[in-house]
Amino acid sequence: MMVGMTQLLVARHGETDWNREGRWQGHGGPGLNETGRRQAEALAGRLSGLQIDALYTSDLARAVETADILAARIGRTPVLEPGLREVDNGDWRGLTRAEVRERNPAGYRRWLNGEPGWNGGESYEGMHLRVIETVQVLLEAHRRGRILVVSHGGAVRAVVAHATGLPGHDRRHIDGAGNCSLTTVTTARGSLRLVGFNDVGHLIGVAGLC
């Protein structure tokens, strides 16, 4: 890593039962299941040899539990940051795609077109702006070194879209990040540069994970 550069590691939380069941989680949902905890342990093993200068996490249960597992190996206390939350998907929280298609077919069609289809909650654009503003504050506080952020799939997409210059939160053109995947960006002349996306190499060969 170059002198004066900040490296930002963005980890998605480990698996939950709602992930496995295909349910929208948003600002709710359970903590990690057993697979999710093993995923987090595998990621912790990968990160244990790196110098991590700060650890931030979304304050949602699944992210906090992941961050706590990582913290035990990297020696940093997680700092809760609500700005790193997943998109608030309103009245779709806890529902599967099949349930949404049945209850709200028009909203589901809007969602397929890249818009929020739920009632209440927030828009993807609103989430994107929230996440990027939060990340910029964190980068301003750490102008060099390496910081680790534990967040969610929507937040990972927001960071990738911003770093690659995609307009707004263009989720339809960015594949989803896997549970406990690692995405890496660096600061370069005041902007973000994408280095790696959805890296799950640490999960390969771990029984039941990949």
Q: Could you give the domains of the chain?
A: 6-88+123-203 (3.40.50.1240)
Q: What is the pLDDT of residue 154?
A: 94
Q: Which residues contact 23 (CB under 8 A, 6 or more apart)?
A: 29, 94, 95, 96
Q: Over 50: is that where the pLDDT of 210 sits?
A: no
Q: What is the pLDDT of residue 188?
A: 75
User: Which phi and psi (to 5°) does residue 205 adopt?
Assistant: 90, -5
**Residue from 13, 27, 169, 202 carrying the catalytic annotation:** 13
Q: Which residue has the higher pLDDT, 192 or 185?
A: 185
pLDDT digits (tens, 9 = 90+) for 139-174: 999 989 999 999 999 999 999 999 999 877 777 788
- How far apart (Å, rounded) are the C-alpha atoms in residues 113 and 95? 19
Q: Over 60: is that where the pLDDT of 209 sits?
A: no
Across 95-113, average pLDDT: 95
Whole-number mean pLDDT of the chain? 92
Across 25-32, average pLDDT: 96
Q: Is 124 exposed, middle or buried (0-12, 13-18, 19+ CB in 10 A)?
A: buried
Q: What is the pLDDT of residue 175?
A: 86
Across 43-62, average pLDDT: 97
Contact of 93 with 26, CB cutoff 8 Å: yes
**pTM assigned to the model:** 0.94
Q: Is 86 a catalytic residue?
A: yes
Contact of 149 with 11, CB cutoff 8 Å: yes
Query: DSSP letters of 105-165?
Result: HHHHHHHHTTS--SSSS--HHHHHHHHHHHHHHHHHH-SSEEEEEEE-HHHHHHHHHHHHT
Contact of 9 with 145, CB cutoff 8 Å: no
Q: Over 50: is that where the pLDDT of 61 sits?
A: yes
Which has the minimum average pLDDT: 47-51, 103-107, 168-172, 200-204? 168-172
Q: What is the pLDDT of residue 166?
A: 87
**Residue from 27, 86, 152, 162 carrying the catalytic annotation:** 86
Q: Over 90: is that where the pLDDT of 48 sits?
A: yes
Nearest to 8 by CA among 133, 129, 145: 145
Q: Is 21 a catalytic residue?
A: no
